[in-house]
Chain A
Amino acid sequence: MNICSVLLLVTALSIPFAALAENIPNLPESIGSAPALTRVDDVRTWDPENMYEHVNGEAELLKRYGATSLTFAAYENEAGDYFAIDILDMQEPINAYGLYRLYAGCDGTEYSFLEATVLADEYAPHALLGPYFFRFNVDISGDSGGGKQLVDDFLKNFISSLSDQPSLPSTLETLQQKALQPCEVNYHPEHVDYDLESGPGYTWTGPDGQTYSLAVLRSPDEAKRHAGLLKSRGLQTILVRNNAIIWQKADEKRSTAYMEEILKEVIDK
């Protein structure tokens, strides 16, 4: 390889990485202090078709949830401390919420930090911010707090570079108020029920312990057609109101006042 080829290679390879990283604002060169961790290697970004190079089979799941890019940066210091971030652009805040809730469930400790929601963990905290889902990999000697300060500092820096982000749909807030617990409400952008191949929607546990699903379609006609399709696939009890449909996983062949109440609140809001 001659010097010209090397220069050409270096130039060629630096361009796509810089271009791909532009949609993610401002990743710092260093983070933390005493001693600070500095970034190792360039920031790397993958799209849905080659995301598997970084996350292997998990790429399929991330694609199902609507991920359009994955950006990775890692930081280290001389003491061997390590801090790495995967930033997923999920296109829509509700997709990011769906992935975050899938990972967080109701088991962990969550806290709010500025506009972000953070799931604390000793080694692998997660965070949700607008259309972005963050996964951290933290290994800091003598810190069993999951590098909370580093996570918060990183998010603060990230948020300061962001413009206003779209908010979550009001449907989510309604369902969170009506569910057994707010953290019980899930969203899936592909199929809320794979057995039914139901399409995107919400699912949650109601105060009665039953599992419910809701889909919001584009029009009343579409809602009627979709309800008919799900019935043809074996679902017996499905309520339609305007452009929303609701059903119960157990399919007890009766509508319930709770289901009607949900529909009314989702449509009227």
Chain B
Amino acid sequence: MQIQRRELLKGAVASLTSFIAPRLSFAESSDPLPKRTLGRTGLQAAVLGYGAMQVSDPAIIRHGLDQGINYIDTADCYLGGRNEKVVGKAVKGVRERLVIATKVHIAKESRMRKSVSKSLASLGVKKVDLMQLHGLSSKEQVVRKDIQQTMRQMKQEGKFDFSAVTTHSNQIEVLEAVAEDGFYDAVLVAVNFRSPANLYKAIKQASDAGVGIIAMKTQNGGFEDKAWPELTPHQAALRYVLDQPGIHLAVPGMLSRKMVNENLGAIARKPDLSDILHLENYKTDLLGKACSFCSGCIDQCRFGIGGMDVARIQMYLEGYRDSELAVSKGREVAAKVRLCNDCEGCSVNCSQGIDIKRSAQRILRFLS
């Protein structure tokens, strides 16, 4: 309890400091949806962008655009390729004032070219603003010269204005490589209020190097749904990320007008001290309990399996309090749980404070 209180106060002070400085940029702007410059691209993007991945109704996206959102993120593979057509319908007539970002997978040049051409046709545009290489997870992928050459040629041919990457795992390595290498102009990175400090540090360093930073999965760090002082948990989580140094905008997924309006509300309403303390309290509550799926444990584990399966079963048992689910899933991964339990000394230093070995012991006791 004492440790938790210390952590709470430390985090609250840090959050308050980070809230005050960036808050000035919001406070100075009378625009209900302020814009930021996306790194060296020079693109002016509203801080709330549209993550279109799951949306099949262009009217919902158009509602967001009509409220001032001017950045849309889609991909060649979303909804089996149909998402770009949905976005294309939504942006008809307003494309010129928008920043459109889509994606292409690393593949042979011919396939990448076909994919990009198909994306442009599906979107109904001559070019997009950002073309993002999808799902990079290593420095090797970032620095591949053959891929950069293909991207450079397509850019010169006028298919897009800027090259970028997306990353979901090994994100710090990817961010550092993009900053150092200098070829890609922006990174779409998964980050939320529970992400570790070294990820935020890598984000800031990349941003200082001129890389545009777009945040995704900003609200996936928790699942509390009870009432908060001024902001809902989703709004607070979004606002937390947007107020961190180096982050230019976020692209939460919005499936309904209600979700769009809720996220817009996060921008309009300034968080006060009670929101900050509540968020820090919530974050502290989750310490040691909930996995953030950062995959950091895998490299640290001497067996290369990490502790995510153990943490997941613990979450079913102690977080969701679903013992049936914990039993059925626990049995599937029992061998890994046993390995953790039998391991002489766990080498994992979990970013969320989960004691993997102790959790494995608790799970095995429960399963037996």
Residues of A whose CB lies within 8 Å of any CB of B are 1, 5, 8-9, 11-13, 15-16, 19-20, 47, 49-50, 52-53, 56-58, 60-61, 64, 102-105, 107, 119, 121-124, 126, 135, 139, 186, 191, 194-195, 197
Contact = CB atoms under 8 A, between A and B. Distances in A.
Nearest to B258: A195
A107 B54 contact: no
B43 interface: no
A13 B217 CA distance: 30
B335 A15 contact: yes
Interface stretch (B74-82, B87-95, B267-275): B74-82
A16 B333 contact: yes
B362 interface: no
Nearest to B80: A103
Contact of A47 (B78, B135, B259, B332): B332
B168 interface: yes
Contacts of B216: 57
A52 B293 contact: yes
Contacts of A1: 302-303
B308 A139 contact: no
A58 B53 contact: yes
A123 B113 CA distance: 13
A139 B111 contact: yes
B256 A102 contact: no
A44 to B, nearest CB: 13
A47 B329 contact: yes
Contacts of B332: 16, 19-20, 47
Contact of B335 (A13, A61, A105, A191): A13
Contacts of B226: none
B16 interface: no
Contact of A124 (B81, B217, B303): B81
A61 B108 contact: no
B33 interface: no
Contacts of B334: 16
Interface string B268-291: 000000000000000000000000
Interface in B32-75: 53-54, 56, 60
A103 B60 CA distance: 18
Given A57-B216, A122-B114, A194 B255 contact: yes
Nearest to A100: B80
Given A16-B332, A16-B336, A56 B135 contact: yes
Given A102-B82, A139-B111, 10 more contacts: A5-B303, A12-B335, A12-B336, A13-B336, A16-B333, A19-B332, A20-B332, A57-B53, A61-B53, A102-B79
